[in-house]
Amino acid sequence: MGEWVNSFTNSPTHRFTDKKRSAMSTESFLDGIYQGSFDGEVFRTFRTPKPGDKVRILLDSFRQLMEEYPPSQLEEEGRIPDKMLKEMGRIGLFGISIPELYGGLGFDLWEYLKTVEELTSVDLAVSLVSMAHLSIGVKGIVLFGTEEQKEKYLKPAATGEMIFSYALTEPHIGSDAQHIETKAELSPDGTHYILNGHKTYITNANYAGGLTVFAQMDPKRPGFMGAFIVETNREGVKIGKDMPKMGLKVSSTAAIQFKDVRVPVENLLGKPGDGFKIAMTILNYGRLGLGASSVGMMEQSIEDMKARSSSRIQFGVPIKDFPLVQEKMVTARVNSTIASAMNAFAGGLLEDDVLANVALETSHCKLFGTTRAWDTLYDALQVAGGAGYLATQPYEKRMRDFRVATVFEGTTEIHSIYPALFLMRKISKQMELLNAGRFSQLGFLLRNLFSRTRWPLKYKNKVMQKAAKLARANARTIRRMLFVGLLVYGKKAQEKEFFLRRITTLSLYLFGLLALLARLTSDHKAGRLRQEDLHVLHYFLEEAKEARDKNRRLFFSKKEALHDRIFRSLFR
């Protein structure tokens, strides 16, 4: 939530040695489904989060603070004043998810995500300073830091005395993070690393007192990276001026240059070579933060549409009586509910294991949440009519501020193909490990193509059973498309982005259905299953059916085939 892009390339083969960190390489819930195994225990142990009073108390303090510093006034100034930053620290906004042992509020992940939802609905630009600091900036220290590193840095981070940034993206390197150009070389006396390179689009840059910086550690081994804690007052650290942006005016975004910066060896997170995995693990939390922000934006937009459509009279009746206006609110409610369930499901996996491999799940949370929230923001402005276009109303600022969410933590385009790409690369690696000839690999593909996926979900409720059956059908189709795709396209399958997007779309709907089913199952056990939620599931099920019909093809559609011809004509 502070990097404009991130990587999803294959991680290097280096392994963490302790048992806790080995969890990073384990199979994820969705990955298990596509490998033929449904983890029923994970599904059954889902619980609907219920944040307590401490979340409400913090939010009340934030709302009071925003009354003292109106968003329009802050945007004109283009920066959060130092006095306000100190006040943000005082009420706990920089320590929300930092353990109480180090001076933080100690919120669990669910409480943090709920807080992010609510903060975002008040003002995203101000909230982002806290979110970027916690979700990705200081997260590496929380997850991977030594006790000495935590004592030294988490305590000032929790109070806002030292705000943190996450520095991965570079001028020439975005999604292909394994090939970043910033380098760290061990000094001859072995006491420091010498850091040289450039980072760009770094959120919180000019607020930051500390950075989590990623750099190559061996020129002969791309991806053998380190994650370093770097204080911004060190000699050789140069932070550029804030970049002008269409939104998020009070959020600091700048480039950072490192020239012969001496970083003590004790400021390395993990071991040499752990950096890439640390970076990718942190980004799981950043993507979940964006998912929560998306829910916050959708929920606020729903309230705005309800109020505006009730008071705006056209042709003698309130516009809420018109089906096309109702459709916007219904769609927003469905999308918000599904996004919330997806976030809770992925968050639950990380609550059980803070280093869980949830790249597929959080990718879906980010893609679904940010794209659906953007559509909802547009619809809210549309329902407001001409007034929605006025800068005195909240709609245009929300759209300007939120627009970058489709770029943060991996663009929409990356997330639209990443899950399929990840699964296909995993299968390819399994084939390589066979160390066998082409016929043996062909046999491997055919055996897996016709193998069955264990599917224990059964419901008495007809809608829930239909949803479970469609999710199973999607799982079978995805598995078939993956293996047939490798048979037909071979190594070039990873270049067939329309094909990859179709697989990802099916997976996205599968995860949305399962996440809501898990929530409804949990609610049913607790005796609080609502008919409204069953209606939401049914609505999303119908949408998922349409998406399935459109995306289960192996070869190009006519429209996709014409794409190439038209594209070529653009460059004649």
Q: Is 409 a catalytic residue?
A: yes
Of the candidates 409, 432, 542, 546, the residue annotated as catalytic is: 409
Q: Which two tokens stand for residue 244?
A: 């002008």
3-class DSSP state for residue 557?
A: coil
Is residue 127 within 8 Å of residue 294, measured between CB atoms?
Answer: no
Q: How long a stretch of residues is the chain?
A: 572
CA–CA gap between residue 137 and residue 144 (Å, rounded)? 13
Q: At 258, which helix (H) or strand (E)?
A: strand 253-264
3-class DSSP state for residue 392?
A: coil
CA–CA gap between residue 6 and residue 278 (Å, rounded)? 13
Buried (b) or exposed (e) across 137-160, using 16+ Cβ within 10 A? bbbbbbbbbeeebbebbbbbbbbb
CB burial of residue 471 (10 Å; 0-12, 13-18, 19+): buried
Q: Which two tokens stand for residue 312?
A: 């705006």
Q: How far are the Cα atoms of 114, 285, 340, 390 from residue 365, in angstroms, in the given order?
A: 15, 11, 9, 31
Q: How far are the Cα atoms of 69, 118, 473, 515 from residue 341, in angstroms, in the given order?
A: 33, 16, 21, 5
Residue 55 burial (CB count, 10 A): 20
Residue 54 burial (CB count, 10 A): 15
Contact partners, residue 566, CB within 8 Å, separation at least 6? none
Q: How far are the Cα atoms of 182, 198, 215, 240, 533 from residue 255, in angstroms, in the given order?
A: 13, 7, 15, 5, 45
- Residue 196: what are its φ and ψ, rounded to 5°? -140, 135
Q: Which two tokens stand for residue 434?
A: 């066979």
Q: Where are the alpha helices (DSSP H) in 101-216?
A: 109-122, 124-132, 139-144, 147-159
Q: At 559, which helix (H) or strand (E)?
A: helix 558-570
Q: Which residues are designated catalytic?
A: 409
